[in-house]
A and B are shown apart, each in its own frame.
Chain A
Amino acid sequence: MENIDKIFRFVEESGFSFNPDILEAGLINILGLIAIVVSVGKDLIGSILEERETTIGQSIQDAENRLNEAQKRLTEAQKQMIQLSVIINDIKNDTLATKKNMLKVDANEAKMDLKFRFERALLAFKSKERQIFFEIKEQITSLVLTRTVSRVKETFAKEKPTAKLINNTIRTLELPS
């Protein structure tokens, strides 16, 4: 209402009057309308723009604050990441060392097992060698004894009296070789 009063006051003060000829008064009307709108809306638009400017400034400030906060958080996160990297590296190194030790223990156990198996195989090999040696030796002894006994039996059967033969043999055995 106050604005409408202002408009009419402005029209009266400026010496404007209503022109009913539309074609003649079109441009003037439009210009007048613009002038009226600018004059009347100046405060309103000004206040809106000020408010808008304040809002935008506030938003920019908020955005800057948020940016700063985000940068702080980023810095903290980077620090934490570095610390975590150090911790992870430590854990990795410890894990690697533990793994190496455990693998070494397993490898040593396997070596001992293998050594034991080779020793057992060697013993089996030596035992077999000894067994075969004794078998051959026994076979030789058996053959020699069999032949000798046979020969002795033949000799004893041929020569009589046997006492003479036995005495001769004992004498021969007593002589130094």
Chain B
Amino acid sequence: MEITNSQKIHKEILDLEINISQKYIDNLIDTITNDFEDRKTLALNNLEESVQSLCEDINMKLSI
């Protein structure tokens, strides 16, 4: 009886800890995803130089 009660309480505590950890993980992934999106937007907005450089390389190769 004592063991069962103790195990039940311990399991509840562990479930609680796991739920807290899952929330932390979810928040972390949300933060990282938002950061990725911001960086992607920044990268897409600053592609001009790289695109121009690549275009020049291709044009040179094609001699046009």
Contact = CB atoms under 8 A, between A and B. Distances in A.
Given A114-B18, A140-B47, A143-B47, A151 B63 contact: no
A173 B61 contact: yes
B33 A152 contact: no
Nearest to B63: A172
Interface residues of B, number: 33
Contact of A124 (B21, B22, B29): B29
Nearest to A109: B14
A99 interface: yes
Given A103-B7, A103-B10, A151 B55 contact: yes
Given A98-B3, A128-B36, A140-B51, A151 B59 contact: yes
Which of B3, B17, B28, B39 has most chain A Cβ within 10 Å?
B3
Given A121-B29, A125-B29, A169 B36 contact: no
Given A103-B6, A118-B25, A144-B54, 16 more contacts: A106-B14, A110-B18, A113-B18, A114-B18, A117-B18, A117-B22, A125-B32, A128-B36, A136-B47, A139-B44, A139-B47, A148-B58, A151-B55, A151-B59, A172-B61, A172-B62
Give the 6 A-B residue pairs with the shortest CB-CB distance, closest first.
A110-B14, A155-B64, A172-B63, A143-B51, A121-B25, A144-B54
Interface of A: 95, 98-99, 102-103, 106-107, 109-110, 113-114, 117-118, 121, 124-125, 128-129, 132, 135-136, 139-140, 143-144, 147-148, 151-152, 155, 165, 168-169, 172-173
